[in-house]
Amino acid sequence: MSKEIKGIIFDLDGVLVDTAKYHFKSWIKLSAELGFELTPVVEEKLKGISRMDSLNIVLESGGISCSEEEKKAMAEKKNTWYLDSLEGLDNDVILEGVLSFLDAVKSHNIPMAVGSASKNATTILSRLDMTDYFVSIIDGNHVQKTKPDPEVFVNAARDLQLEEASCLVFEDSQKGILAAKTGGFRVIGIGEKTALKEAEAVISGFQGVKVEDVMALLN
């Protein structure tokens, strides 16, 4: 294990679990109801940001303006659809290689935390029996400011009792990578290099990835 990295903070949607697609499907359903289509460009923008910020981007892309009360109702509707799509959630939703990687990090005695924008994070992790891996789970219910503000990762580092610079963050979103960098964390992107240029390194996922491989990516 790298001498510098003493803790690891994982984003949830798109890093540990493949739930980002369910978020997007629910937004597609809402936009269809409102009479417009969402593009892949908008999909990328929705990753890692809060429910209300996502709704504002969706509405803006459709050229729709509405009252705060209407927005609240729309956000609730989207969340109900999202939660419906998580009914019967099983281990298939855990991204490939994630459990082996978490086991490997644990065997190196490196403490782990989750830093997610989702208010549904603890529900998802406990349903998948994954909570015990993490010293701390900081989610959308625990922060005042959302990514790209670093608050979610700063709170996770505080719970790990580590300096930001000695924590590595794994993120799949542009806003999350910016949050990690702004907070002084090391950061590896999960996904496509073209979309995640700001990360120190990018991997497509954890399948076949060893802890040592990840550390070798950090200078």
Q: Which residues are catalytic?
A: 11, 13
CB closer to Mg ion, 2 vs 79: 79
- Which residues in this chain contact ligand B16 in the complex, by CB under 6 A? 11-14, 20, 23, 46-51, 54, 79, 116-120, 140, 173
Asked if residue 139 binds Mg ion (CB under 5 A), the reply is no
HSE at residue 34, side-chain half, CA atoms within 13 A, is: 24
CA 183 – CA 181 distance, rounded (Å): 5
Q: How far is the CB of 88 from ligand B16 (least distance, A)?
A: 17
Binding residue for Mg ion (CB under 5 A) from 139, 159, 164, 172? 172
Determine how β-strand 167-171 pairs with β-strand 136-138: unpaired
Q: How far is the CB of 47 from Mg ion (least distance, A)?
A: 5
Binding residue for Mg ion (CB under 5 A) from 9, 13, 17, 102? 13
Binding residue for Mg ion (CB under 5 A) from 7, 48, 183, 189? 48
Asked if residues 42 and 63 have their Cβ atoms less than 8 Å apart, the reply is no
Q: C-alpha angle 62/65/71, rounded to 5°?
A: 100
If 0-12 CB within 10 Å is exposed, 13-18 middle and 19+ buried, where does residue 141 land?
exposed
Neighbouring-strand partners of residue 169: 9, 187
CB closer to ligand B16, 2 vs 56: 56
Q: How far is the CB of 165 from ligand B16 (least distance, A)?
A: 22
Q: How far is the CB of 37 from ligand B16 (least distance, A)?
A: 18
175, two tokens: 């806003």
CB closer to ligand B16, 111 vs 153: 153
179, two tokens: 């949050």
CA 64 – CA 66 distance, rounded (Å): 7
Asked if residue 191 binds Mg ion (CB under 5 A), the reply is no
Residues of this chain that interact with Mg ion (CB under 5 A) are 11, 13-14, 48, 172-173
